[in-house]
Amino acid sequence: TNATWHPEWIWRNGVLTPWENATIHVKAVGHASVSAIFEGIRAYRSSDKESLLAFRLEEHLDRLLMSARLCRLHIPYTTQELHTAIVELLIANEYEEDVYIRPWAFPGGLVREMMVPSGAECEVVIDTWPMASNLSTPRDCTAAVSSWVRINEASMPPRAKTFSNYHNGRLAVLEARANGHDIPILLNERGKVSEGPGACIALVRDGVVITPSLTNGVLESITRDSALVLLREAGIPVEEREVDRTELYLADEVFFLGTAWEILPVTILDGLTVGDGKTGRVAALLEESYTAVVRGEGEGHKDWVTEVPRRPKA
Ligand code: PMP
């Protein structure tokens, strides 16, 4: 997808809108942006190539409403209405490849108050763009523990998916890149492992998968949840708990988990080779079962995917 590409249709406040018409006044940008919230969802092309499969749509839309509640914003749509909107939008744009779906909401109107009041009515927008999955493509990254500390419950709750929260991750990414690493790992205010800038993290030690529990400054990740379910089903023991930085250094495997990054193995961490420096056994096994579910193969977890039919050709 090049920089000038855009979809034909974007969903805005209940209406499929031509891309060119989806504009706002400059005054609408500023304080309204500070309290804006969003979601990131993937729809995968099914293995039989007959449809797109939106992954855990209900859970993502529930999380959008959860973020709205935590930010005291009013979204004037139900999850059912937003669910229908996403399906209609994918059909209207005639996607046949893997797609990323970005619903977001921001206080509408010409916001004049620095402190957007409780209950502010939101504009809701849904954008989409092609994003090829990296599942089944060998890949890895280098990572480094960041000197930036993860935002925490006492200041900027990480559980809410607000655009503002991403300034923390952005600073960490810029630092990591300046030092020649791909991705930062943030520790929380207690010095325990929290997550990456746009994904959760897990490690494998002595055959046990360990991931920071949800009270360690992490987003309530849907990929993390899916991975824990699939790993347990495969008979692999999993632990959700506080994780020390040095456990990362002693791990046989470390990988990120998130909608966009999917399952991304870390092969070098703070200059130390992780395991044998290749994708590990557990990450590979998880990737295989995750791929089968998101692409609609087999009978497992059919309720995790929403089938989006192709628009019948005229
Ligand atoms: N943490 C952060 C900060 C994220 O931005 C994301 C991506 N949404 C995740 C974790 C992973 O969440 P999910 O699996 O729901 O995409």
Q: What is the ipTM of this complex?
A: 0.99
Extents of the domains making up the chain: 9-130, 141-294
What CATH number does the domain located at 9-130 have? Answer: 3.30.470.10
Give pLDDT, residue 110: 82
Point out the residues that are catalytic. Answer: 161
The pair of three-digit structure tokens given for residue 7, joined into one six-digit string: 């979809």
Give pLDDT, residue 312: 63
> Mind listing the pLDDT tens digit of every residue in the chain (314 residues)?
678 999 999 999 999 999 999 999 988 888 999 999 999 999 999 999 889 999 999 999 999 999 999 999 999 999 999 999 999 999 999 999 999 999 999 999 887 888 999 999 999 999 999 999 999 999 999 999 999 999 999 999 999 999 999 999 999 999 999 999 999 999 999 999 999 999 999 999 999 999 999 999 999 999 999 999 999 999 999 999 999 999 999 999 999 999 999 999 999 999 999 999 999 999 999 999 999 999 999 899 999 999 998 766 65
What are the two backbone dihedrals, phi and then psi, of residue 182, each rounded to the nearest 5 degrees? Answer: -80, -50
- At the top level of CATH, the class of 141-294 is alpha beta
Residues in the ligand 1 pocket, defined by CB under 6 Å: 40, 169, 195, 198-200, 219, 221-224, 258-259
Give pLDDT, residue 279: 96
| Cα separation, 309 vs 52, whole angstroms | 7
Nearest alpha-carbon partner for 185 in 172, 174, 167, 171: 172
Residues 6+ apart with CB under 8 A from 182: 141, 142, 143, 176
Nearest alpha-carbon partner for 243 in 192, 176, 304, 184: 192
Give pLDDT, residue 1: 62
Give pLDDT, residue 109: 87
Cα of 219 to ligand 1 centre, how many Å? 6
Cα of 130 to ligand 1 centre, how many Å? 19
